[in-house]
A and B are shown apart, each in its own frame.
Chain A
Amino acid sequence: MGSGSSVNVNYKYSLQKSENAFKAAVLIQQWYRRHVARLEMRRRCTWRIFQSIEYSCEQDQIKLHNFFSYLMDQFTPSSSKERDFISRMFISGESYKEAELEKYCDYESIEVPDSYTGPHLSFPLLPDHATALLEAFQQKQQLHARYVLNLLHETRKHLKQLPNISHVSTCYSEEVTVCGDLHGQLDDLFLIFYKNGLPSPSKSYVFNGDFVDRGKQSLEILVILFTFLLIYPKEVHLNRGNHEDHMVNLRYGFTKEVMQKYKVHGKKILRMFQNVFCWLPLATLIDQKVLIIHGGISDTTDLEMLEKIQRDKFISVLRLKKRKESSRKPQIEAVNGESEAGTDAAGNEAAPRLSLQPQSAQAPNTANRLEFSRWLRQTVQEQIDTCRRLMDISESEPEELTYSSVVSLKDVDEPCWTRQEEWKQVLDILWSDPMPQEGCRENKVRGGGCYFGPDVTEKFLDKYSLQFLIRSHECKQEGYEFCHNRKVLTIFSASNYYEIGSNRGAYVKLGPDLIPHFVQYQANKTAHMLTMTQRISRVEESAFRALREKLFAHTSALITAFRSYDGDNTGKITLSNWATAVESVLRLGLPWRMLRPQLVRSTEDGMLEYKSWLDDLAMEQRSQEHIQSSLLEVIYRNRSNLETIFRIIDRDHSGLISFEEFQQTWKLFSSHMNIELTDDGINDLVRSIDFNKDGNIDFNEFLEAFRLVKQRPS
């Protein structure tokens, strides 16, 4: 008793207290770490969703090819209207010699009104012009069309002098900064300039392609980049990306952006851009040691060939159609006459053509269906041939002879590549992706380029005595990522690419030691203020919305799949079978079991009533109840392709097509997709769209009406 024991009691008490505190700490830490782990899993799953949806979008291009093949091979137009319609899809009209380009896209006659408050450009450009432009764009002003066109003309002149592969040396400027995809996100460019400084004689930049599409300020980015290019030609280098391609622009937003911003002169501006994009260099080499290309390489990439080809031949590298398998020999044999463009599927012979000059848009005015079909096949055949050689014929310079004749005129010593081989070189550079496995295989997901393995990289670097590759083309969560034993660096500069908070952007700096230093950023104030949980929730919401739309778009196929697991016709299936069925239909390679709680809310005894689940999905779409659901499904599933087709039809880029054209498109499409569509069905469809004027349909509105996913705020 006495103080001794009370000390003991106190001691015991405090000992127990600290033991308790210790145990408590362990529990809290354990519990918290679980929470964090779940967040991390959610984050990664969300990422997966976005990536798989993005790549499956690119497969739409393949579906488009199939649609065109279908039109070519199987569809016989039943009226002259239909004939005209189809022929318009396949025949491009205009040729552009240098002089014609100047004339058509002339800017001098464009007056700049006194009321214009934006920046004025005069040539040669000075640093002040760049500053003025940056300030103007920050204040959301628009550069006058005249200056845009002038800038484009000057840019084209400059680019024409550049070699296919730019050479940069770090001994002139201390460091080179390399930026990746920007995709119209001007805020990211501003952030880069803010953090890193503007281009200048002491600050070199390489921009690695994909300046446009998806984001809403592609135009401004191009104007700024081209301006700096002209002011500091030695310090600023631009590489072409796969989005610097008008076929891609039709689908992914650049065309739309230009037409919206420049209603009067938009078409000219677009034409000029086409003729500027094709002159962008294909690659940049730093100190002969680091190669920068937009996409990647393949096992056949040949730098010597790349240096020598005429890069402006490839206005677009996208093929319009994949040829049916036949014993076609490579193009080089075309020297002997185009008679190989002989028999097509129906056994009709096409007349041999010796020149690939553009055809005038004159369909034979005959009611004879057979005649027409034959003519159509011939013309389309040629179109396909030229597309296959990847030369957009409408843009060629006529003083250049056809490839076949060029070959016969060249010296025997000169390397004789086929157009096919050249095309593949360019395609691979712009579209390929690295893969972890060894080897090199076709990139079926994107529909172009290759997947190349670490062995391909190794061999390539070895062959040309290079240290590593820098490429872009793929979004990375941290803005950059190494692969292939740090021999390939992906750099991606568009932050928040999928959604606010989805990823950081980054740029990389290289000094004479060629050791990469990275700077990351995220161009959105909101993103910084959000907690990790909020950021993840937000991105997640967006991803799941997109995913639910995809599911809805495959309703019929899903029902069939579910039914196959529901032999007794109970209307229910297990969650496990749900996951298997969904993957078999959507083929997105997603972890469905992990995603399930977000997609399937209510179950009974672990069983899902699939019909009502699908109905719930359908309910989420907007006000289109009066349209039959199967039709709706088709629209959703094919929206991206429909949009592209509309844009192709809409030659003057007005955003409007006539009701008849709309009907035609729809009919063609639905016969290809094997949908039963009554005239009533079409009328219902049309009634749901606002008619603008004179029976024209604003197809932008039409497409908007069927858009589930919220537009990203600009």
Chain B
Amino acid sequence: MEHDWKIVQQSSDLGEGKVSDRTKAPSWRIAPKVSGCSSGTDGLIAEIEKKITEAFEVFDRESNKTVDGREIGCIIRSLGCFPNEAEVQELLAKIEEPDGFVHLENFLRVMTEVLLDRRFQPIPEDVILHAFEALDENKCGYITKEDLVKHLTEEGERFTQEEMEDMLVVALDPETNTLHYRDYRTKLVVDETKTFPFNV
């Protein structure tokens, strides 16, 4: 798995748009337009921390400021980030306790930086479109179930059986057993913007 994600990061042949090198932090910080804050950046950081804490606590089963490390990916993603699995693991490695749990204070520290640095930016729609097109050998606008399953469960950061099945349920057109990726992508994008338009 060592070779893949680095390639993705550096390449830009999968589409125009903001697929920049996502490991570099922008040198500027956002000036908040919020009133009632003691100082601009402090207010922003406080707000970020509150958001992170909220998301964390949703997964904090025992209300003791710890979550199972396996849910960290979920939390990070619901805060608006698009890390891949390797990036999640890298983050996790920094904060995971020996018993597999993560404490809020550690998560807060690491995640605040991530958000301030605007890491793991969203994948632009056109980039995803091109990704699907890359799997569509004949350029016919759809991918067969078999091809989809093969690519997603055998390549990249492989899907588990469960993940694959879950995706197929929604994504496949039941009559033709194919994925019409333009429609699918639009559908998911619309869903997204309805609920958690993340903004700092």
Contacts and interface: CB of A to CB of B under 8 A. Distances in A.
A27 B197 contact: no
A593 B54 contact: yes
The A contact surface, by secondary structure, is: helix
B4 interface: yes
B78 A30 contact: no
A30 B123 CA distance: 9
Nearest to B81: A34
A594 B188 contact: no
A594 B135 CA distance: 35
B140 interface: no
Contact of B58 (A48, A436, A532, A597): A48
Contacts, number: 161
Nearest to A45: B58
Contacts of A579: 50
Contact of B63 (A42, A436, A577, A594): A436
Interface stretch (A15-23, A140-148, A180-188, A214-222): A15-23
Query: Is the interface on chain A under 10, 10 to 19, 20 to 34, or 35 or more residues?
Result: 35 or more
B159 A29 contact: yes
A38 B156 contact: no
Given A24-B132, A531-B169, A591 B83 contact: no
B36 A28 contact: no
Given A42-B195, A574-B34, A597-B196, A30 B135 contact: no
Given A25-B135, A30-B83, A30-B157, A36 B166 contact: yes
A532 B54 CA distance: 24
Nearest to B193: A597
Contacts of A32: 163, 167
Interface stretch (B7-15, B94-102, B108-116): B7-15
B64 to A, nearest CB: 6
B128 A28 contact: yes
Interface in A576-592: 576-577, 579, 591-592
B105 interface: no
B4 A31 contact: no
B68 interface: no
Interface in B75-92: 75-78, 81-85
B58 A44 contact: yes
A517 interface: no
B29 interface: no
Contacts of B13: 20
B170 interface: yes
Given A21-B135, A576-B50, A40 B7 contact: no
B196 A36 contact: no
B180 to A, nearest CB: 14
Interface string A54-97: 00000000000000000000000000000000000000000000
A26 interface: yes
A503 to B, nearest CB: 16
A41 B60 CA distance: 12
B183 interface: no
B51 interface: yes
A628 B59 CA distance: 42
B33 A27 contact: no
A625 to B, nearest CB: 29
A533 interface: yes
Contacts of B25: none
A597 B134 contact: no
B131 A28 contact: yes
A45 B54 CA distance: 10
Interface residues of B, number: 64
Contacts of A41: 55, 58, 74-75, 78, 196
A33 B123 contact: no
Nearest to A572: B35
Given A26-B157, A41-B74, A533-B191, A597 B167 contact: no
Interface string B170-184: 100000000000000
Interface in B1-26: 4-5, 7-8, 11, 13-14
Contact of A533 (B7, B159, B170): B170
B159 A31 contact: no
B146 interface: no
A605 interface: yes
A41 B80 CA distance: 12
Given A24-B132, A591-B55, A38 B78 contact: yes
A436 B123 contact: no
Contact of A19 (B7, B130, B166): B7
Interface string A597-622: 11000000111000000000000000
B132 to A, nearest CB: 7
Contacts of B59: 44
Given A23-B11, A24-B135, A37 B50 contact: no
Contact of B34 (A23, A25, A576): A576
Nearest to B134: A24
A27 B78 contact: no
B77 A22 contact: no
B155 A21 contact: yes
Nearest to A483: B62
B128 A27 contact: yes
A33 B156 contact: no
Contacts of B69: none
B36 A577 contact: yes
A495 B172 CA distance: 29
Nearest to B77: A37
Contact of B151 (A21, A437, A533): A21
Contacts of B155: 21-22, 25-26
A24 B74 contact: no
Contacts of B42: none
A37 B167 contact: no
Contacts of B82: 30-31, 34
A606 B37 CA distance: 13
Given A531-B169, A565-B36, A27 B54 contact: no
B49 to A, nearest CB: 11
The 10 A-B pairs of least Cβ separation, nearest first, read A25-B156, A37-B77, A41-B78, A436-B62, A591-B54, A24-B134, A26-B156, A24-B131, A27-B131, A37-B74
7 contacts: A25-B155, A28-B156, A30-B123, A36-B166, A573-B36, A594-B55, A597-B194
Given A37-B75, A591-B55, 8 more contacts: A27-B127, A28-B135, A44-B58, A565-B36, A576-B47, A591-B54, A591-B58, A606-B33
Interface of B: 4-5, 7-8, 11, 13-14, 32-36, 43, 47, 50-51, 54-55, 57-59, 61-64, 73-78, 81-85, 123, 127-128, 130-132, 134-135, 151-152, 155-159, 163, 166-167, 169-170, 188, 191-192, 194-197, 199
Interface of A: 19-38, 40-42, 44-45, 48, 436-437, 531-533, 565, 573-574, 576-577, 579, 591-594, 597-598, 605-607
